[in-house]
Chain A
């Protein structure tokens, strides 16, 4: 038995809405995943966070319901409803009992087509988002390290912007920004809507057509995206957190995009390098040395190449040792490649694990939306086992050269006690220093910003 894309129906409404219906009857739940293309790309470059606030406001009053009434009806039915912005799309997801599927679609249509976007709700939400960033700095600074990393690596390229917003930008955003965003970046041909689970497909298709088929198109295409240029040579961003017991670090460079043809080989090599417990990275930083609780690597792939990054942390006095070990391990991958035995193990692991992410209606709603968004086709899932089976050492080597950076060509971010680690991190390149309490994720000027226009 292997996992295959379930039977589903794909409809295209006359105005460009893509509607996908996936009946799955394991449990009496229904799930939706709505993707509105654009996301952070539609943000004014000086005010990141508008898309994120627009997403947050979708459920803060829509149609005939104000924010309280909307939450009352969602949660009163036991449902969930949440929206967030990514670099290239806003995603809205939720789950309800099957008996409430019509209500679910009605709420979604209100949120997407008739959001109130009220001034007072915006102020409250933006204010709360500012405070949530500060709270994250106090309780889990590693949660924010990717945001610092992308800002440092991508510079002025849109992938460098903090999609959630920064403390400064969130404070500056007003209702006109959000209104302008909604008017410019929402519209029929931007929408992919997947309804999955214990659904009455016939009924929902009719309801969705009634609700969405008169929605106008957005006035323009989603903003275009240039291929980002990676960093050459090493540079370091030091984010000072005085008294920090550990240093949290991130090492990255530009990787590959969503349609990268060697995706199966990429998954296998990353599994071996930093994607599972016995990976090269975790073996060095945790299992053999006891320096860290963990080390991992991943690729973020969009319509253009996003970042490859590895991340870990170690006690303040071991900062240099841990950074050195991480870079040496990256160097070893580039130098030695992977063996056929390693590939076999990674293949078994990947084949054994990927079905676990494709089990529920909510899993399939999200996956089918992603397939539609990037034009991946159902072969993205159905052909995956055969693609994994075909990966050999030569293709793995090609992936290592194409997607993994050389250890001497990376951007490095370290969050830690600058007074105690500046010397150690300075060994790895010119240092830009800022404070963890600064209200931005970069100091505004990045040396070596290859993406400045």
Chain B
């Protein structure tokens, strides 16, 4: 399998511009399109109390006009060239994505550089966009049982580290950002030395890098952003959150402290999570949904960031179920995994699912651009992507058992329950 990837790896080109911007290009000629990801090393991790949600607000403001283009022009010009775009914000990064016909490469890079260099801060536009973000928050949090519970669990899980902030921001903060907050955030984080561009598609890498140089190199580098110095202290005991909300289905979330993305044990963390929750044959689905029927759905994810984050397990329970009973059943399963690890068959299943998952992403230019960026930004080197199949293959049951014993420790978790009530 690594053999199948070797020619691709050799065709990829990377460059660092004079101002520190990194550009990585993967040429792929199956469709006449390009996927571009612009990775900004700024997330809710870089925020402060009273100004949470700023990183996410920029995800919106970056579409709202520059000194060269009025509000709305970015999307109008992009779409008229055949391009579409989106963006997302996490605890760690803000990522801008463009998908466009190869012929539009120069235009798209010009538009991307323009908003990094010349963003405008128009008071009326800021006010209107506050409304949009408030609507997004109502959709994802206030009118959403899972979103509401997850926000409270995350806030309880950290006492010192900014990972406690919700990425979308607390409602009062969304209402109260000032122009100066926005300008300072922009200057600090939207600097070329804090960005990485990854491209995959129907382009000549040298040509793409030359174009990136032309549009981005004139933007001056800034002082590096201040490091996030907060270190979350060791969690000493289990924390619990209980929400009563008008709803039909109870929920149970369980968030364990987990390693950071760059931890050498990262592949083992992913495989452990996969063995626990991915697919109908996973340990927790089978035990809790099929056998004991205490849950109707089991999910999970690892918040794979710059700093140690959380490994989440989330259960949706049937109407009328007792969350305490579901917790006891979950704990029995997790205690067994913490003590004995997983079987060789479970590990092999997880390895194969991870391998197919990787290939599914590699089948499309979008997945390629995304993976290049993830490995460059979170693991320090895009080329580590190509070591991933071997790293997956090397994980042993002993390694997973040691890791499970360390992570699945009740003292280092935060438990959230959403209990339905009448009003």
Contact = CB atoms under 8 A, between A and B. Distances in A.
A134 B247 CA distance: 9
A374 interface: no
B359 A27 contact: yes
Given A72-B281, A124-B293, A358-B31, A95 B136 contact: no
Contacts of A283: 72
A386 to B, nearest CB: 16
A244 interface: yes
Nearest to A287: B72
B363 A292 contact: no
Given A2-B32, A358-B31, A348 B81 contact: yes
Interface residues of A, number: 70
A46 interface: no
B82 A138 contact: no
Given A71-B279, A124-B293, A360-B363, A28 B1 contact: yes
B249 A138 contact: yes
B355 A352 contact: no
A124 B286 CA distance: 12
A76 B83 contact: no
Nearest to B131: A290
Interface in A48-96: 59, 67-68, 71-72, 74-80, 95-96
B364 A360 contact: yes
Interface stretch (B15-23, B98-106, B379-387, B398-406): B98-106
A344 B82 CA distance: 10
Given A138-B249, A315-B134, A289 B356 contact: no
A75 B349 contact: yes
A39 B58 CA distance: 45
Contacts of A362: 360, 363
A352 B143 contact: no
B59 interface: no
A278 interface: yes
B281 A353 contact: no
Interface string B131-167: 1111110110011111100000000000000000000
B248 interface: yes
B319 A131 contact: yes
Contact of A29 (B29, B30, B79, B356): B356
A244 B144 CA distance: 10
A378 to B, nearest CB: 17
Given A27-B362, A68-B281, A352-B33, A134 B249 contact: yes
B84 A78 contact: no
Interface residues of B, number: 77
Contacts of B316: 131-132, 135
A232 interface: no
B319 to A, nearest CB: 6
Interface string A283-310: 1001111111100000000000000000
Contact of A355 (B4, B32, B104, B146): B32
A126 B396 CA distance: 38
A243 B420 CA distance: 14
Contact of A359 (B31, B289, B352): B31
A139 B145 contact: yes
A291 B145 contact: no
B263 interface: no
Nearest to B130: A290
A97 interface: yes
A290 B127 contact: yes
B132 A293 contact: yes
A59 to B, nearest CB: 8
A441 to B, nearest CB: 15
Nearest to A355: B31
Contacts of A96: 356
A276 interface: yes
A245 B131 CA distance: 13
A27 B202 CA distance: 17
Nearest to B364: A359
Contacts of A344: 80
Interface in B381-419: none
A313 B215 CA distance: 38
Contacts of A27: 4, 359, 362-363
Contact of A28 (B99, B127, B131, B359): B359
Interface string A1-44: 11100000000000000000000001111000000000000000
B348 interface: yes
B79 A437 contact: no
Interface string A131-152: 1101101111110000000000
Given A3-B32, A314-B135, A135 B363 contact: no
A345 B31 contact: no
Interface in B362-380: 362-366
B149 to A, nearest CB: 10
B279 to A, nearest CB: 4
Contacts of A213: none
Contacts of A352: 33, 81-84, 100-101, 104
B184 interface: no
B249 A75 contact: no
Interface string B219-259: 00000000000000000000000000011110000000000
Contacts of B138: 245-246, 315
B129 A77 contact: no
Contact of A79 (B76, B128, B142, B356): B356
A351 interface: yes
A132 B296 CA distance: 7
A135 B251 CA distance: 9
Contact of A356 (B79, B249, B366): B366
Given A131-B319, A138-B247, A355 B79 contact: no
A2 B30 CA distance: 10
Contact of A292 (B135, B348, B359): B135
Contact of A134 (B130, B248, B279, B351): B248
B352 A76 contact: yes
A128 interface: yes
A124 B80 contact: no
A181 to B, nearest CB: 22
B110 interface: no
A283 B128 CA distance: 12
Interface in A220-273: 242-246
Nearest to B103: A352
Contacts of A1: 29, 31-32, 202
A277 interface: yes
Contacts of B135: 246, 290-293, 313-315
Closest 10 CB pairs of A and B: A352-B82, A78-B352, A290-B131, A290-B128, A78-B356, A71-B281, A71-B280, A355-B31, A134-B248, A293-B136
Given A76-B349, A276-B84, A352-B83, 16 more contacts: A71-B280, A74-B279, A75-B278, A75-B353, A78-B354, A127-B318, A131-B319, A132-B316, A290-B130, A315-B134, A345-B76, A349-B83, A355-B33, A359-B30, A360-B363, A360-B364
17 contacts: A1-B29, A3-B32, A27-B4, A67-B290, A75-B278, A76-B348, A78-B355, A79-B356, A124-B290, A137-B248, A138-B247, A139-B146, A139-B147, A246-B138, A289-B131, A352-B33, A362-B363
